[in-house]
Amino acid sequence: MLRLFAIILAGLLASAPAQAQSAGDAQIRQLRLQVRQSMQAARDAQQAAAKAQSEVSAAQAEKADIAASLDKAESARGALASRVRALQAERKQLEARVAKLEADLAAERDAGQQTRAKLDAQTRARARAEADGARQGAALRTCRVHNGELAGAADDLLHAYEAKGIFSVLGEAEPFTGIGRVRLENLIETYRDKVDAAREPAGGPADPS
């Protein structure tokens, strides 16, 4: 465009007559001014167009960056949603596991209480049995003492009667037959056997306690 204005200006200058040079100087200056203004306007327009093109390019690049950022954000949102779903499923599994553990713990606690109650009952029963055994042992020892005392008293009584001379008295009462003496000896032997049978053996049974 600038070149075109220069050609037009040169043509005008070449065709102007010599006598009109003074009058045409003003026109030439006016044309030059117009040409300069046109050239400046053209340069301004080119600069504005270049600037606009640069801004368009920058806007397109920014748009592309924004689109890429949106794509990344959408991808991240999808990944986050998947992670949230996975965490929710894991939470449900953990809640189910905790519920099962609590149920197992409650069952074990009940079983422990039942076992403790059984052990307490067994302990009380054992204590009663030990107390009964102690009482029975004491009673058995007392019976042994009494048995020994009774056996000793019976022996003493038999020996006393023998020493008293019952045999001789009865023998004198029946000097010919001696039936009373034989009967008394048999009676003494019978009672001695009963005393020996009732006597506690030397070893004796073990105490229940």
pTM over 0.85: no
Give me 57's structure tokens: 């390019």
Amino acid present at 39: M
**pLDDT band for position 166 (cuts 50, 70, 90):** low
For position 22, what pLDDT does the model report? 61
For position 92, what pLDDT does the model report? 93
SS3 percent helix, strand, coil of the chain, rounded to 5, is 90, 0, 10
Q: What is the mean pLDDT of residues 88-100?
A: 93
User: What CA–CA distance (Å, rounded) separates 151 from 190?
Assistant: 14
pLDDT at 66 over 50: yes
Q: What is the mean pLDDT of residues 79-105?
A: 92
More reliable by pLDDT, 96 or 158: 96
Give me 92's structure tokens: 């449900």
Q: What is the mean pLDDT of residues 71-84?
A: 89
